[in-house]
Amino acid sequence: MKHFKVLSLFLITLILSASITGCQNDNSDSKENASKLHVSVSFFAMEEFAKAVGGDRIEISRIIPDGVEPHNFEPKPSDLKYLSTADVFIYNGFNMEPWAESAIESSQNSECIVIESAHRCTPILVDDTEEHPEDVESEHPKDIESEHHHEGNDPHTWLSIQCAKIQVQEIADGLSIADPEGKEYYQDNATSYISKLDSIYTEYSDKFASIDNQHFVTGHAAFAYFCRDYNLEQNSVSNVFATREPSAQQLTELIKYCKENHVTTIFTEELASPLVSETLASELGAKVQPIHTLVNSSNNKSYLELVHENHEQIYQSLKH
């Protein structure tokens, strides 16, 4: 019995010791998290850029979850609750997140550093209301007012390596304002990430320059900045904001375009309906190939991995 009591006391001591150590670790973790910048981001690409630059000095909350089409996203109060306590809010801008400004204002968080990462990118202007004027007038007269917010800049900057580099640097500058002690850390991380982006750009600028075909077709017109990087041309099934499917006449013109430019692949995005793309591909004897718009994560792959896949898939589609 004495042996049992001694053993029991020993075990109790070990358990208490482990509990105390666990509490100390929890307190340590809590202090560590409290010392980090709390960063709210809009969607996946912004999250990836923030992680790359912020590293272990930040913790991130993403507003737009996977599986949601960001063009149609309307945040609920629960989606924005993190904004009220965030130290930094990172979004793309160029009207990709039309709710952003009102969300920032509603959060009543005057201390939050707001980073519109695309604002120094050279914009590509679009006027979505003019792409299908006959549709707006005859089929959707009630939608005319709602369409006006689509006039302005094409928002898809993050799909371009050259724009992504600017956005990464913008995030580094903003995080440095929020956390001046980490300025050198953020800049080192940004420089390293930009170097990785440059490697992809160098590889594919040579590849795209080596082929004559410059035309590819996507589900919606999201790749204008990508095309500007490499002097390519996109056509698309839907418009910049993925708001409409083509009319019969437009589909006929798209089929003609594909035949004239020897298009053998129709790219379609994760969240877009592939039906029209499949119809177009069937008419052409082409294949349908998924492509990443990088608003959602995919197979636990990083931005760099996914953007490299995009480059390779587009290159292979043109190399024939």
Which of 52, 29, 38 minimizes the C-alpha distance to 302?
52
Q: What is the rounded CA–CA span in Å between residue 44 and residue 62?
A: 7
Which of 40, 118, 89, 43 minimizes the C-alpha distance to 303?
43
Strongest mean pLDDT among 16-30, 131-145, 189-203, 268-282: 189-203
| The pLDDT value given to residue 33 | 61
Residues 6+ apart with CB under 8 A from 169: 190, 194
When pLDDT is averaged across residues 302-312 and rounded to a whole number, the result is: 98
The pTM for the full model equals 0.83
| The pLDDT value given to residue 314 | 97
Whole-angstrom CA distances from 69 to 47, 296, 299 are: 16, 9, 17
Confidence check: pLDDT of 214 > 50? yes
Which CB contacts under 8 angstroms, 24+ apart, belong to 305-314? 307/159, 307/161, 307/164, 307/200, 308/200, 310/159, 310/226, 311/200, 311/203, 311/204, 313/265, 313/267, 313/289, 314/216, 314/226, 314/232, 314/267
| The pLDDT value given to residue 151 | 57
Q: Convert the pLDDT of each residue in 281-301 to its tens digit.
A: 999 999 999 999 999 999 999
| The pLDDT value given to residue 69 | 82
Residue with tokens 């070990």: 14
Instruction: Return the higher-pLDDT residue of 18 and 106.
Output: 106
| The pLDDT value given to residue 63 | 97
Phi, psi of 94 (to 5 degrees): 55, 30
When pLDDT is averaged across residues 3-29 and rounded to a whole number, the result is: 44
Q: Convert the pLDDT of each residue in 100-140 to its tens digit.
A: 999 999 999 999 999 999 999 999 998 755 443 333 333 33
| The pLDDT value given to residue 271 | 67
Strongest mean pLDDT among 1-10, 19-28, 257-266: 257-266
| The pLDDT value given to residue 99 | 95
Q: What is the rounded CA–CA span in Å between residue 283 and residue 262?
A: 13
Instruction: Return the higher-pLDDT residue of 154 and 21.
Output: 154
How many alpha carbons lie under 13 Å from residue 146 in its C-beta half-sphere?
8
Q: Convert the pLDDT of each residue in 72-91 to its tens digit.
A: 899 999 999 999 999 999 99
| The pLDDT value given to residue 243 | 65
Confidence of residue 316 (pLDDT cuts 50, 70, 90): very high
| The pLDDT value given to residue 245 | 75
When pLDDT is averaged across residues 153-177 and rounded to a whole number, the result is: 98
| The pLDDT value given to residue 16 | 43
Helix (H, G, I), strand (E, B) or coil at 290: strand
Q: Convert the pLDDT of each residue in 29-86 to its tens digit.
A: 554 566 899 999 999 999 999 999 999 999 999 999 998 888 889 999 999 999 999 9
When pLDDT is averaged across residues 220-230 and rounded to a whole number, the result is: 96
Q: What is the rounded average pLDDT for all residues in the chain?
A: 84
Confidence of residue 12 (pLDDT cuts 50, 70, 90): very low
Confidence check: pLDDT of 15 > 80? no
Confidence of residue 219 (pLDDT cuts 50, 70, 90): confident
Confidence check: pLDDT of 19 > 60? no
